[in-house]
Amino acid sequence: MLLLTVLLPACTGEEGPPEYVIAIGRDVLRGKNILGVQRLDTDSDGVDEWLTFYRFDQVNDRGPVAALIYDVVFDPAIQLPVVYPYKLRAPYENYLAQDKPEVTLVDLVPESGGVPRKELVFCTETKTDLAFFRLTRDPGPPPTDNPPLYRCIGFFRSPDGVHFDENTLEVSVTSRTGYERSDLVRKHFYRPEADGYFITGTNTLVSPFAAIIDFPAGIPTDILDTPYAEKIVLAFYRTFGKTDPQPKYVDYLSSQAAAEFQEGKLKYGSPFPLNEIKWAVVKELSYYPTQDDTQSTIVTVKVQFRSTSDELSALTEVRWTMIRVDGRWKMDYPQSYG
């Protein structure tokens, strides 16, 4: 603990002799690589705390990042205010990030009463680490961090990307696992519940409310030339709901399937007419690996549609026979299983 009387010149911004000022890096976290100290009102009391990031287990200029919050708290044992450290603990002693994260304050979990407080959101510039912390009680007196003052209520990490939407409070987690061959991704979507993104009283994430198979950054412009039949099928379904899409629906289909599609007879899994489809998502996708000289294959998807009146279809399995036409994969014949 640090006596506030010693730290006052640094707190107020008044200049004073160096011996009156305590520096976190020089005097407190000696031997640690301090990445930054940010003044931020982390406990919603109207006074800024010192949010401190440091690196540990360092090799050259790399290593995991941890964080502390220093706060001024009255200590009745000595009848003086002190500067007390509160550690931000990720579940199971995980490190917070590999790079210094950006931090924002977001109203994430409704308060049952008392002073409205915002939660801390940490996200790295690389969009691979995302953590949420909530103040569990008033900081004191007396100052103590047992149990932790700031409790983690959500923790996400993926080398393929995590994203937090401040408007909807939804988190999406991207993973290429299982789809590395054709550079597709699986995305899981989470919403906060009563106690954040963890099941109450645990460090277990709530169940995702949605999961889809998707392209990492939208449908490729040269999609019709892809060597992967499964990408043709995914692009076809991701086209639904788009205005004047390019390529068009029929560009993914064989001449026979295109004719049936234009007549409204193609059984691609939707219970809604084409002009009433708001969007379609592929939730599962499987395929047989192909070679350059493969002329036909099977791609199976489980797909769901939403209508323009916001009616959601049942999950439908569609098994597509794929054929090569002039060197390009085309969707030829569907078998639909509701």
State yes or no: pLDDT of 152 exceeds 80. Answer: yes
Question: What is the predicted pLDDT for the residue at 138?
Answer: 82
Q: Report pLDDT digits (tens) over 90-103.
A: 999 999 999 999 99
pLDDT band at residue 16 using 50, 70 and 90 as cut-offs? low
State yes or no: pLDDT of 8 exceeds 80. Answer: no
d(CA 213, CA 197): 22
pLDDT band at residue 284 using 50, 70 and 90 as cut-offs? very high
Q: Which regions of the chain carry the CATH code 3.10.450.50?
A: 223-337
Retrieve residue 45's tokens.
Answer: 């009391």
Q: 223-337: which CATH architecture? A: Roll (3.10)
Whether 110 and 175 have beta carbons less than 8 Å apart is answered as: no
pLDDT band at residue 4 using 50, 70 and 90 as cut-offs? very low
Retrieve residue 207's tokens.
Answer: 């169940």
Question: What is the predicted pLDDT for the residue at 12?
Answer: 42
Question: What is the predicted pLDDT for the residue at 80?
Answer: 87
Higher pLDDT, 313 or 139: 313
What mean pLDDT is predicted for residues 189-206? 93
Q: Report pLDDT digits (tens) over 211-267.
A: 999 999 899 999 999 999 999 999 999 999 998 899 999 999 999 999 999 999 999
Question: What is the predicted pLDDT for the residue at 255?
Answer: 96
State yes or no: pLDDT of 65 exceeds 50. Answer: yes
d(CA 165, CA 172): 9
State yes or no: pLDDT of 3 exceeds 70. Answer: no
Place of tokens 């930054």: 36
SS3 153: strand
Whether 38 and 103 have beta carbons less than 8 Å apart is answered as: yes
Whether 283 and 212 have beta carbons less than 8 Å apart is answered as: yes
pLDDT band at residue 18 using 50, 70 and 90 as cut-offs? low
Question: What is the predicted pLDDT for the residue at 11?
Answer: 44
Question: What is the predicted pLDDT for the residue at 132?
Answer: 97
Whether 139 and 107 have beta carbons less than 8 Å apart is answered as: no
Question: What is the predicted pLDDT for the residue at 77?
Answer: 87
What mean pLDDT is predicted for residues 282-286? 95
10 Å CB burial of residue 275 (0-12, 13-18, 19+) is exposed
Task: Give the chain's largest Cα–Cα span.
Answer: 86
Cα radius of gyration rounded to whole Å, the chain: 27
pLDDT band at residue 17 using 50, 70 and 90 as cut-offs? low
How many Å separate Cα 297 from the centre of its chain? 34
Q: How many residues does the chain have?
A: 338
Judging by DSSP bridges, how do beta strands 80-87 and 49-55 pair with one another? Answer: unpaired
Between the two ends of the chain, the Cα-to-Cα distance in Å is 65
In the chain, % of residues over pLDDT 90: 70
Higher pLDDT, 22 or 11: 22
Question: What is the predicted pLDDT for the residue at 9?
Answer: 38
